[in-house]
Amino acid sequence: MKSIVIGVIGADVHAVGNRIIEYTLTREGYNVVNVGVLSSQEDFINAAIETSAHLILVSSLYGHGELDCKGMREKCQEAGLDDILLYVGGNIVVGKQDFQEVEKRFKDMGFNRVYPPGVTIEDVLDTIKADLGD
Amino acid sequence: MKSIVIGVIGADVHAVGNRIIEYTLTREGYNVVNVGVLSSQEDFINAAIETSAHLILVSSLYGHGELDCKGMREKCQEAGLDDILLYVGGNIVVGKQDFQEVEKRFKDMGFNRVYPPGVTIEDVLDTIKADLGD
Amino acid sequence: MQLKNKKWTLDEFMAVRKEVLKSWPTGNDPLLDLDESVERLRKLPAHKNFALKLIEAKLQNRTMLQPRAGVALVPDHIDLLQHLEAAGADFLPSTVDSYTRQNRYQEAEEGIRVSEMQGRSLLNGFPVVNHGVKNCMKVLDNVNVPLQARHGTPDGRLLAEIIHAAGWTSNEGGGISYNIPYAKSISLADSIYYWQYCDRLVGYYEDHGISINREPFGPLTGTIVPPSIAIAVGIIEALLAAEQGVKNITVGYGQCGNIVQDVASIHMLEELTNEYLTKKGYKDMFITTVFHQWMGGFPKDEAKASGLIAMASTVAQLAGATKMITKTPYESIGVPTKEINQIGIKNSKMVVSLLKDQRFPDSDKLHEEEEQIRKEVHCLLDKIYEVGNGDLAIGTVKAFELGIIDVPFAPSKQTMNLILPARDNEGCVRILDFGNLGFTEEIKAFHRKKLEERAKAEGRDITFQMTVDDIYAVSNGELIGRPKGFKTYENN
Amino acid sequence: MQLKNKKWTLDEFMAVRKEVLKSWPTGNDPLLDLDESVERLRKLPAHKNFALKLIEAKLQNRTMLQPRAGVALVPDHIDLLQHLEAAGADFLPSTVDSYTRQNRYQEAEEGIRVSEMQGRSLLNGFPVVNHGVKNCMKVLDNVNVPLQARHGTPDGRLLAEIIHAAGWTSNEGGGISYNIPYAKSISLADSIYYWQYCDRLVGYYEDHGISINREPFGPLTGTIVPPSIAIAVGIIEALLAAEQGVKNITVGYGQCGNIVQDVASIHMLEELTNEYLTKKGYKDMFITTVFHQWMGGFPKDEAKASGLIAMASTVAQLAGATKMITKTPYESIGVPTKEINQIGIKNSKMVVSLLKDQRFPDSDKLHEEEEQIRKEVHCLLDKIYEVGNGDLAIGTVKAFELGIIDVPFAPSKQTMNLILPARDNEGCVRILDFGNLGFTEEIKAFHRKKLEERAKAEGRDITFQMTVDDIYAVSNGELIGRPKGFKTYENN
Ligand code: B12
Ligand code: B12
């Protein structure tokens, strides 16, 4: 059973999507480690180390995602998580912005997959499966 | 008491604005000659000749105004109405169009004043007064 | 011709038909062979049959959506309809241009020509007759939901022939509702006669096992029409249609604005139509209702127009209307683009699907309004049958002549144009001036009382100015046209 | 500190105040001298006083409108608010950014810096504390309607000081409603204590003749919260505020979606808040209600979002809510631009002004829903007073610890998070799993019965999947999350 770390980053308290993501990934047979809302980069990284996770799935709903996610890839590397996959999704920037630009900004920060508003966890189950090589 | 000819041109049956224009201009002290809905250019012109009107106020609501108003100025001249003022208003073209262009088209046809949707008869009372020189 | 409410014999119909088909070259199409058309329509899949889809629709809880739409040229019209289907329209229209409506096919031809030349539609609708059966078939082939012609044609006989032959399985209109609001000088006897023809044509198809829907145009002039008048006209047209063999009828109503009155009207429209059809012995009728989103002047602001559209949708769904005709944010400006038309549909669809499991609860207030409408409609129809000596067609013509039934703000000289409506203090449409309207003193007293409540609250007399204020009100974002400086709470 | 529901003495308040003002440099502003602030606020014109304008508003028939809005920088924020005023907002907000809400002023400072550098707001709101009194005064100077801070701050004491000193005459929030949905680990005893401070501050102003409005945050997590739970929390916060000297309170409620339940909720919110305030001996209270347009996940399509907004406006107006918080067509995407925010206001305004003379009629169905809510709220509050030995503050903390009161989908560990809501077959929010909720068996049986009706109609069991389906439903254009392939009419 592969482990996936999930949580909501920064000062963000949007808890509903997080609960549904936990429910859905668990139903799909993953070992879900949920660091919950209001989580720092360190919270995610520590959980990933503890559970040898393959994927950190970061939610950011409240708009500060850009500020909160800065430097996360570097912190992962410092912690020795060299190959860990980083996903980010929800409403990751403030307002309606051109998604191609937004995607670029987050890819430049080292995220492997970046999702626009409206993409639900159900929509990415196949991608997760493929990326985790099941 | 100056005379104003009003009516709705072409195959247009929108009667409500016409009735209100009659009511409003009469209240303002004009001799209103209403040729009603479904009126041809000739209907307007004949009424203007009969009552020595100074102004023909054409309503067109249904969108065919451009087709229906073509040649009206020339017909007025042929009938000897050399100085008659021609106004047109309502929803005079099909759809939402740039009004500057629309105005130009109708001015080129010889209309003195051209109004976009939303301009009510109350809005132009001052203009009429000024144009009729009271 | 001697007008009466009696099913035309096949011979009578066929004799007139010959003349009708001669009225414009497209009537000369071999595709207009009736028996071949019947066979073609038999092969139409059920989901493209308007009447059958309505039967299905009524079993569902959600109000179905249909926009208005039509442009001059065939390819553009198909593109337009495909956009509307994609946006969620359950039924599609082809709104017909105004020249065709007045049988001015020559001018429609010119409109097509100029539109082709300039690359934009100069017509306000799709010129069905000029395009002919083949083009209409092409339109239907390119969509996946049923098609209806929506027009406003006093004499739409050739139009009806063409659309039905092309597989369009619904036709809007009626001898009253497509004359009084849409013409000036055409006699009511004539237009009723023309529409008997259209209904008889549908009756022919029905006699051969093909269901076709007919839809009287409920809103009439769309301008604060008192509900009982609109409903009475709808019932008359339903009865006239049934006599000619029509089975599947959608009676209509245009939103007035007071929610209780609107819900009561939809309820009464359905109840009373069924009541009269049964009473007059018509069997196997299938009656549905259509609610028209606000038919009067719209606000200019697009966001405000959207608000009105969604509010209307709320009412239609809570009232349980089978279908709703949607408007668009451009309503006050001009014919909408396909994108703007889509917005109206999506906005409406959201509301009706959210609310599909809900209905307006029964309440005393609702029942009182229903009872008032019931009383008024009975009163009008009784008088009409009376002056017609039992014949509805004759009675209708006479009743309009005498002003017993009268439609406000109509362009037509066939209605007395004496009655004046105005809103009461809660926004219900009442009658300020009755003209010769066939109401009892009791009914009149009720209307007067209601308007006096408003007059008192506003501190002014009941005059035409109230009506004028009400006509402008909705476009200014209000329902009741209050005098300047009016403050509600001074009167609480 | 020993939490109890007792008005703080002036000394207690002033002692804590010293510490509060030290928590960030902007607290050190001479403009924060309380007596000078009182005098400044005395000069504020009535139309800029939130509390006074609400009194005026309640006399009118129309529901007042207030959007949400806030950006990082002062000039942009002013420009934004001016746009919203121009669009017809009756009250203005300043929505505060999320760092400030967690008292992370250092990060807010960074957000301001980066926003200035990049020329776009990287914060999701206006960082009130960092900007300080002067800037907040500047914002108020540039608008013509009252201003309120809307945030979600468990410890908003410095924020409250700053906004009131700047003449913002309303503060949203409460010890429960700004903790449970907005925090993870802050104890309820602490947040109630912090909000006693905020209320006591308002009490100070009231004691000196300055009216200031307070508004508990009714929607809580915004996610199918059962009405009686939201109403109970609103009443508790109103009572706690009244104890500290608050007089002018707006209790809130987030649209659930079933119209009858929503109308009943607004009625009960007002009735029961007044009932408890009277029963507990608070005099001269002025209570108004605020209806929040749908607070859960929105549909992505902007036209659909507009439909939802206008439908919500219909309900608010018919329910007679004093105020409504508007959403925008961008809701599901992100913080709206000023233009898009205007659309939400205009759309809503159209509906509430159209319907201002109308109310939802009384009916049995409405009364039943009202009675159900009344029973549930009484039941919860009785239990809370019981476990608090008559002290509401203590009772609330204990009741949350025990799960007697519980909020679904909350991020906070201060609520048991055991209860699960789901919709019944008409879309009313009911409870599927009660956890330890302090309901009688009779009430629980009612909820179970209602959910069984739905389960039967859908042919499936009552499980968490129903809740999940309901959470997604509205964003998919439905109210009830039906299983795939569900057809309503199979069950009619
Ligand atoms: C009510 C209405 C109807 C009623 C009319 C009843 C009747 N017989 O009177 C019915 C339902 C029958 C109807 C039918 C049709 N209508 Co119509 N109708 C309207 C509607 C909703 C309101 C019109 C109205 O009464 N307003 C209230 C009065 C007081 O205002 P008014 O008419 O605008 O007049 C005022 C001003 O315009 C101004 N004014 C008028 N003339 C002039 C002239 C001058 C010089 C000046 C200064 C001012 C001025 O002063 C008037 C008084 O203040 C408008 C859209 C809208 N405005 O919201 C569409 C609208 C006018 N209709 C339209 C159309 C296309 C039709 C139809 C072809 C069918 C269709 N496609 O839906 C048929 C036409 C039939 C025909 N042959 O004419 C279109 C026209 C499109 C365009 N120009 O691009 C409109 C704009 C709707 C739309 N957006 O599609 N309609
Ligand atoms: C409910 C809600 C709230 C509730 C939250 C209750 C709670 N504690 O959970 C309350 C009212 C408390 C709230 C508060 C705030 N909110 Co809020 N909220 C919403 C709302 C309406 C719905 C969110 C929701 O629950 N959706 C349902 C769940 C199931 O969907 P979801 O959360 O989107 O999650 C799904 C997907 O996003 C996806 N997903 C999530 N993460 C990831 C990650 C990956 C990798 C992938 C593939 C997918 C994925 O899968 C999830 C499950 O399918 C949204 C707008 C919307 N969506 O309509 C705004 C919204 C998220 N909130 C917003 C904001 C700004 C706030 C506030 C700052 C206040 C404000 N200005 O209104 C505060 C923030 C407080 C804080 N510190 O975080 C903004 C964010 C703006 C932006 N990004 O530009 C939004 C978008 C509204 C808006 N347009 O302004 N909010």
Q: Are D322 and D51 in contact (CB under 8 A)?
A: no
Collect all residues with Cβ–Cβ distance below 8 Å to A63 and sequence separation of at least 6. A91, A93, A94, A95, D98, D123, D124, D334, D335
Structure confidence at residue A26 as a pLDDT band (50, 70, 90): very high
Distance of alpha carbon D153 from alpha carbon D27, whole angstroms? 17
- Chains B–C, number of C-beta pairs less than 8 Å apart: 92
C-beta atoms surrounding A100 within 10 Å? 9
Give the residue-averaged pLDDT of B95-111.
96
Contact residues, chain D, for C358 at CB < 8 Å: 258-260, 426-427
User: Taking residues D240-260, what's their average pLDDT?
Assistant: 98
Distance CA D482, CA D475 (A): 13
**Ligand approaching nearest to the C-alpha of B111:** 1
Q: Is pLDDT above 50 for D492?
A: no
**Residue environment code for D370-401, b if the CB has 16+ CB neighbours within 10 A, otherwise e:** bebbbbbbebbbebbbebbeebbbbbbbbbbb
Q: How many angstroms separate the CA atoms of D303 and C303, rounded?
A: 10
Report the share of chain B in percent with pLDDT over 70.
99
Q: Which whole number is the average pLDDT over D65-79?
A: 97
At residue A134, the pLDDT reads: 64
d(CA D198, CA D173) in angstroms, rounded, equals 9
* Interface predicted TM-score (ipTM) of this complex, two decimals: 0.96
Number of Cβ pairs < 8 A linking chain C and chain D = 186
Tokens of A65: 């995602």
Both tokens of residue B59?
A: 């309503």
User: Of B5, B62, B113, which is best to mutate to test ligand 1, by the most ligand atoms within 8 angstroms of its C-beta?
Assistant: B62
Element (H, E) at C343: helix C338-354
Q: How far is CA A110 from CA A9, B53, C51, D266, in A?
A: 16, 78, 58, 49
The SS3 assignment for C349 reads: helix
Secondary structure class of A122 (helix, strand, coil) = helix
H/E segment holding residue C397: helix C392-402
Q: Tell whether A43 lies on the interface with D, counting CB pairs under 8 A.
A: no
Q: How far apart are CA C200 and CA C194, in angstroms?
A: 10
pLDDT of residue D2: 85
pLDDT for the residue numbered D485: 85
Select from C361, A21, C354 the least CA-distant residue to D256.
C354
Considering only residues 169 to 198 of chain D, which have any Cβ-Cβ distance to chain A shorter than 8 Å?
A: 181-185
Other chains touching C, judged by 3 or more CB pairs under 8 Å: B, D
Strands (E), A2-133: 3-8, 31-34, 55-60, 85-90, 113-114
Average pLDDT for residues D281-296, to the nearest whole number?
98
The answer to whether the CB atoms of B11 and C101 lie below 8 A apart is yes
Q: Best mutation site among A12, A13, A14 for ligand 2, i.e. most ligand atoms within 8 A of its Cβ?
A: A14
What is the C-alpha to C-alpha distance for residues D217 and D292, in angstroms, rounded to an integer?
10
Q: Supply the Cα-derived Rg of chain B in whole angstroms.
A: 13
Residue B18 to chain C, least CA–CA distance (Å):
10
Distance C450 CA to ligand 1 centre (A): 30
Q: Considering only the beta carbons, identify the residue of C308, C357, C425 that sits closest to D480.
A: C357
Nearest to C22 by CA among C96, C105, C98: C105
Any D CB within 8 A of A2 CB: no
- Is the predicted pLDDT of residue D1 greater than 70, yes or no? no
Given pLDDT bands bounded at 50, 70 and 90, which one contains residue D486?
Answer: confident
D299/C489 Cβ within 8 A: no
Distance D296 CA to ligand 2 centre (A): 8
Which bound ligand lies closest to the C-alpha atom of A114? 2
Rounded Cα–Cα distance for residues D372 and D21 (Å)? 45
Cα B28 to its chain centre, rounded Å, is: 17
Measure Cα distances from C359 to A14, A96, D294, D426 in Å: 34, 36, 20, 9
Region of residue D28 (left: phi > 0; alpha: psi -120 to 50; beta: else): alpha
Q: What is the mean pLDDT of chain B?
A: 96
> Other C-beta atoms within 10 Å of D416: how many?
18
The alpha carbon dihedral of D79, D80, D85, D87 has a sign of positive
Let me know: does D334 contact A93? Beta carbons within 8 Å: yes
| Phi, psi (degrees; rounded to nearest 5) at C416 | -65, -30
Q: Beta strand D64-66 with D92-95: parallel, antiparallel or unpaired?
A: unpaired
Any idea which ligand is nearest the CA of A21? 2
* Mean pLDDT, residues B59-83: 95
Q: Whose CA is nearest to atom 48 of ligand 2?
A: A89
Beta-bridge partners for C421 = C431
Domains in chain A: ranges and CATH: 3-132 (3.40.50.280)
At residue D490, does pLDDT exceed 70?
no
DSSP secondary structure of C242-293: HHTT--EEEEEEE--S-HHHHHHHHHHHHHHHHHHHHHTT--S-EEEEEEE-
Average pLDDT estimate for D167-171: 98
Helix axes D227-243, D188-207, angle to 10 degrees: 50
3-state secondary structure of B42: helix
Residue numbers of D annotated as active site = 101, 172
Q: Is B7 in the pocket of ligand 1 (CB under 6 A)?
A: no
Cα–Cα distance for residue pair D435/D416, rounded to 1 Å: 8
Average pLDDT along chain D: 96
Look-up: residue for tokens 């979600």?
Answer: D152
- How high is the pLDDT of residue D61? 87
The pLDDT averaged over each successive group of 10 residues in chain C (492 residues) is: 93 98 97 97 97 95 96 97 98 96 94 92 94 98 98 97 98 98 96 98 98 98 97 98 98 98 98 98 97 98 98 98 98 96 98 97 98 98 98 98 97 94 98 97 98 96 95 97 79 42
Query: Tokens standing for C473?
Result: 């009100």
Give, in order, the Cα–Cα distances in Å from C413 to each of C420, C421, D59.
Answer: 16, 18, 47
Give the pLDDT of residue D488.
Answer: 65
Query: What's C407's DSSP letter?
Result: -
Confidence at residue C485, expressed as pLDDT on a 0 to 100 scale: 84
Distance CA C396, CA C402 (A): 10
**Residue D202 CA: distances (Å) to CA of C66, C219, D214, D241:** 54, 55, 8, 9
**Cα angle at A38 between A33 and A43, to 5 degrees?**
45
pLDDT at D491: 44
Of C229, C201, C199, residue with least CA distance to C214:
C199
C-alpha torsion sign, points D399, D401, D403, D406: positive
What percent of chain D clears pLDDT 70, i.e. is strictly above it? 99
Place of tokens 């349980």: C320
